[in-house]
Structure 1
Amino acid sequence: MEQEFTVLENKMVGRNLYKIRKIREKKAADVAEHIGITEAAYTKYERGESKITIDLIQKVAEYLKVDPINLITASTGHFIEIGSNSPAAGINNYNGVDEKLMALMTKMIENQMAMNEKIMRLLEKLNQ
């Protein structure tokens, strides 16, 4: 059951990786090079075929200049740019990221993921 949950989340996040990369007009090969993996490995993340980590989300967000929260939320219609002063239609601009806020958001994401894993393990035990 845990595997099904992971795949579901990976598909949504992967779709967001793809959409925002396309909006930014970046090639998958360029993103892959930035994060230090092959293009084939990166596109597996976009398709939701590989487990997506916080580290990957942070690296991709940095390269695409978006708030990492936008990569893990369901709606990518509006997103926050990191360090951009140029307004773009339909995009909320954000000038820089407060390091303490980023650390807090990362910790919150990690805690949520850990809690989800615990819930899935408990559900598996109940279904046995």
Structure 2
Amino acid sequence: MSETAAVTGSGPEVRSGGCLCGKVRFTVTGPVDDPHICACTDCAKRSGAPFQWWVGFPMAGLEWTGAEPTWFDTHPGKTARGFCPDCGSHIAALDYGGATIIGILATALDGHESDQALVPTNLNRLSEAAPWLAQVG
């Protein structure tokens, strides 16, 4: 795929992405759902950053084109997070129980920096954020 983040035409939007080392690769087809920044303590601890940038996509439109990620139960029985077992890149989040949306870290998508559909529309769980985060800017 070219540097363009989303390929469109007569069909649905298709985006690709993967981990830092390239072992885990995927495509997602369909509309962007709830692009947001999450500042919860779990996202901060896992990433080593004060927040993470998430985007949802239809689960039915997800295809692993390289190796699949390794999954860690962040909240056993409720939510798992996918990461590359080789380079450690965080890739995805999946809720158990018939989820129809998969969360993908926007930074795992090729061309994320220029894809306007990925611009966050809200900041979730700000009450859990590092106290200084609201002062930055």
Tell me if both proteins adopt one fold, taking TM over 0.5 as the criterion.
no
The alignment's TM-score, normalised by the length of structure 1, stands at 0.25
Higher helix share goes to which structure?
1
State TM-score, norm by structure 2: 0.24
Greater relative CO (CA pairs within 8 A, separation 6+): 2
